[in-house]
Amino acid sequence: MVKNLGNWEMILTFLESNLILRNRNSWKEACQNIALIPFFLLLSLTFSDFGVTCLGVNYGQVANNLPPPDKVVDLLSSLKITKSRIYDTNPQVLTAFANSNIELIVTVENQMLAVLVDPQQALQWVSTHIKPYFPATKITGIAVGNEVFTDDDTSLIQNLVPATVSIHGALVQLGLDKYIQVSTPNSLAVLEESYPPSAGSFKTEVAGIMSQYLQFLSSTKAPFWINAYTYFAYKDAPNRISLDYALFNPNSGMVDPYTKLHYDNMLYAQVDAAIFAMARLGYNGIEVRVSETGWPSKGDPNEVGATVVNAATYNKNLLRRQMANEGTPLRPNMRLEVYLFALFNEDMKPGPTSERNYGLFQPDGTMAYNVGLSALSTPSSSSTPSSASISLASSATKVTDVKGLIIFCDLSVHYPQS
């Protein structure tokens, strides 16, 4: 009899995600495969022993105490991270990522959009900021701005599509379009309606340009990125929204009255709302990826729910979902790609206390809390989760205002070290 049900559940999830076990009800099938299950049981694997993760982690440097890019690359490599995203094209960062085997998405800052509307300027930008580093630095995407549709500077919206088209045209001219996609992250606030998911629609004032943007994504097969935080929804209405529903904990969930689809967590409902919003504009086949999501571990007195326990719960449950390669109820067979916010706590971010407390790690590399990554960063099994760390000390000059996003997809199993 299996006594450790937690480990047993993790083993079943791993086997299913790696196509070893086609159906967990037919577990005998796997047991007949050279005693594979007993092998895992004897190892007594814990959640953090699996490197079966495809989860993004935003990496920002809005702080005065963070390690330089080369040390961050060391950290990402130790975590077996294979993909990342930064929010500019800082040459120090691009150089640090060279030959690291980490794929990289770079970003055009919002203030550059007006300049890059000009195709010649876009060609010059790509020739200067992309081509010299490629392919040593594995640049795979360009994010044109960030949350442009909901930015206070409304002139950005008018420049988004022309700048995006110009940048893509420059990639085509340089023969790089086969390797590099172009898109932009969007705030969930771009939606006029998001509940129920089938009512999802874009705000009227952006619908016209959004349609042009979606046409570009459709023609280039680039994804639609959405920043979705269930924390904000819960904080604003804790008496109406179930905390368990927001945290991926077991709960009764909700049924969309029109599609009859059942949702057991808010994030998937938010994503499907974005899919329905695109469908209302005539675009059904564009992939949606969550470019930011997370939960703060600390907040001001009026920031309900911002606690270490909730942050650890949200991120650990999200990691479990990612390990299972889940899709949303509307697209169950399309794995949802998610990027977590954030890698570090950042002490210079403006705004409420929560803004400075989204990190998985402290600036010195120790974990703010454990979500199951300790086996990837701990040098030996004798290290406790609370003390697991990687040395990030360096006297190098800090690169300021550098943000990034990491996604790792290592399907190997990491065994406990003796």
- d(C-alpha 69, C-alpha 406), whole Å: 13
- d(C-alpha 211, C-alpha 88), whole Å: 26
How many other CB atoms are found less than 10 A from the CB of residue 350? 7
| Burial of 289: CB neighbours in 10 Å, binned 0-12, 13-18, 19+ | middle
Q: What is the CA radius of gyration of the chain?
A: 22
- d(C-alpha 160, C-alpha 114), whole Å: 8
- Tell which residue, 304, 299, 404, has the closest CA to residue 356: 299
Output the CA angle 81-87-90, nearest 5 degrees. 95
Please report, for residues 261, 298, 323, 327, the alpha-carbon distance to residue 253 in angstroms, rounded to integers and kept in the order given: 11, 26, 21, 16
- d(C-alpha 264, C-alpha 324), whole Å: 15
Tokens standing for residue 293: 């999501």
Indicate if 147 belongs to the active site.
yes
Place of tokens 């199951």: 372
Tokens standing for residue 287: 């992939």
223 φ, ψ (degrees, to nearest 5): -85, 160
Distance of CA 148 to the CA centre of its chain: 19
- Tell which residue, 417, 349, 352, 342, has the closest CA to residue 378: 417
- Tell which residue, 47, 49, 41, has the closest CA to residue 80: 49
Q: Phi/psi zone of residue 101: left (φ > 0), alpha (ψ -120 to 50 degrees), beta? A: left
Tokens standing for residue 234: 């819960």
- d(C-alpha 171, C-alpha 191), whole Å: 31
Indicate if 292 belongs to the active site.
yes
Q: Are strands 224-227 and 254-255 parallel, antiparallel or unpaired?
A: unpaired
- d(C-alpha 276, C-alpha 267), whole Å: 14
Tokens standing for residue 106: 């770079």
The active-site residue, picked from 292, 303, 337, 346, is 292
- Tell which residue, 60, 55, 44, 105, has the closest CA to residue 80: 55
The active-site residue, picked from 9, 29, 109, 147, is 147
Active site residues: 147, 292
